């Protein structure tokens, strides 16, 4: 019988639409379920019991991990796993988890106060990058080259409403472009090198940056294998910085966009996702 998978998300983006449209021909039924209408908590999870698995694609930094945790606890197969989502949604937790597992990550400091911030600048030296612990699409990721600017930037952090928004990572600036590896299951199915083009120093695809396909690289493979060993098989966007001392993992997106790598590499990503889901449910 055809298996049914629910994409749990706040909205259908380009990637979700591609999956929903191409899955039936590949023998899988994929529906969108609004992440605001699940009301999980009932031990039998009636709101999702017609599905064989949930694919969590919430953009929210709080919903995905909570929904995955409750569904998993009720015995519903979830991808990515709750553990992986919890590790990825918080940049600081991810750094700690990967570093402990022996995966190379940039040096970093947690700043929850101006005292921490000053100490971090002293420890790391300028230039540094400051970024929110919860964030995405390059928002608020700030390059601080100038000591005169640093304290004024921190004034804005201090004025943010919630401690949740104030917690920041401070890390060395590692210029030179970044690499995005799309992992499905345990494999890198597509990889691309991004360069920040023109006005913005950040290389996010969401900021309109250019990329080119990256050939197989054993060192990249080794680092990404370390990530997958720690987080378990899943669908991940693993972002690396290339540095003179090797590749470092900047972040892992647990509901990655893939429009950029798909158009750069021509890989049929929905087919790979469907194959992974079918293998998981076999």
Ligand X SMILES: Nc1ncnc2c1ncn2[C@@H]1O[C@H](COP(=O)(O)OP(=O)(O)O)[C@@H](O)[C@H]1O
Which residues of the chain form contacts with ligand X (CB under 6 A)?
106, 129, 131, 135-139, 141, 171, 173-175, 178, 196, 202-204, 239, 250-251
Q: Please compute Rg for the chain using Cα positions.
A: 19
Q: Least separation, in Å, of the C-beta of 157 and ligand X?
A: 16
Q: Least separation, in Å, of the C-beta of 108 and ligand X?
A: 9
- Output the CA torsion sign for 200, 203, 206, 212: positive
In the complex with ligand X, which residue's Cβ is closer, 44 or 122?
A: 122
Q: Least separation, in Å, of the C-beta of 192 and ligand X?
A: 12
Q: Least separation, in Å, of the C-beta of 215 and ligand X?
A: 21
Where is 165: in which H helix or E strand?
helix 163-166
Spatial distance between the Cα atoms of 189 and 198, rounded to a whole number of angstroms? 29
Residue 193 dihedral angles phi and psi, to the nearest 5°? -105, 130
253, two tokens: 């997106």
**Residues 234, 81 contacting (CB under 8 angstroms):** yes
In the complex with ligand X, which residue's Cβ is closer, 5 or 248?
A: 248
253 HSE (CA, 13 A, CB side): 21
In the complex with ligand X, which residue's Cβ is closer, 96 or 281?
A: 96
Closest CA to 206 of 257, 248, 249, 255: 257
Residues with Cβ within 8 Å of 161's Cβ and at least 6 positions away in sequence, in order, are none
In the complex with ligand X, which residue's Cβ is closer, 106 or 233?
A: 106
Residues with Cβ within 8 Å of 12's Cβ and at least 6 positions away in sequence, in order, are 20, 32
In the complex with ligand X, which residue's Cβ is closer, 25 or 137?
A: 137
In the complex with ligand X, which residue's Cβ is closer, 32 or 201?
A: 201
Q: Least separation, in Å, of the C-beta of 205 and ligand X?
A: 9
Q: Least separation, in Å, of the C-beta of 251 and ligand X?
A: 5
In the complex with ligand X, which residue's Cβ is closer, 51 or 154?
A: 154
Q: Least separation, in Å, of the C-beta of 143 and ligand X?
A: 7
**Alpha helices for 4-146 (secondary structure H):** 14-22, 63-73, 82-89, 91-100, 114-124
């Amino acid at each position: 019988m055809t298996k049914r998978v629910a994409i749990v998300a706040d909205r259908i983006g380009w990637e979700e639409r591609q999956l929903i449209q191409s899955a039936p021909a590949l023998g899988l039924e994929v529906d969108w379920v609004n992440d605001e209408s699940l009301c999980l908590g009932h031990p039998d999870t009636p709101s999702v019991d017609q599905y064989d698995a949930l694919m969590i694609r919430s953009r929210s930094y709080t919903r995905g991990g909570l929904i995955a945790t409750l569904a998993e606890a009720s015995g519903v197969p979830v991808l990515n796993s709750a553990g992986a989502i919890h590790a990825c949604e918080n940049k600081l937790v991810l750094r700690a988890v990967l570093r402990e597992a022996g995966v190379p990550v940039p040096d970093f400091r947690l700043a929850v106060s101006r005292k921490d911030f000053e100490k971090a600048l002293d420890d790391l030296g300028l230039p540094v990058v400051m970024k929110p612990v919860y964030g995405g699409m390059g928002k608020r990721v700030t390059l601080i080259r100038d000591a005169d600017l640093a304290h004024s930037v921190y004034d804005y952090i201090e004025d943010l409403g919630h401690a949740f928004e104030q917690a920041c990572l401070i890390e060395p600036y590692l210029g030179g472009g970044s690499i995005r590896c799309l992992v499905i299951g345990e494999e890198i199915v597509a990889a691309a090198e991004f360069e920040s083009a023109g006005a913005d120093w950040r290389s996010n695809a969401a900021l309109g940056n250019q990329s080119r396909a990256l050939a197989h690289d054993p060192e990249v493979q080794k680092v990404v294998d370390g990530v997958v060993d720690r987080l378990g098989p899943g669908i991940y966007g693993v972002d690396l910085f290339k540095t003179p001392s090797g590749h470092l993992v900047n972040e892992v997106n647990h509901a990655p966009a893939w429009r950029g790598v798909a158009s750069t590499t021509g890989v049929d990503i929905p087919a790979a996702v469907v194959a992974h889901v079918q293998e998981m449910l076999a």
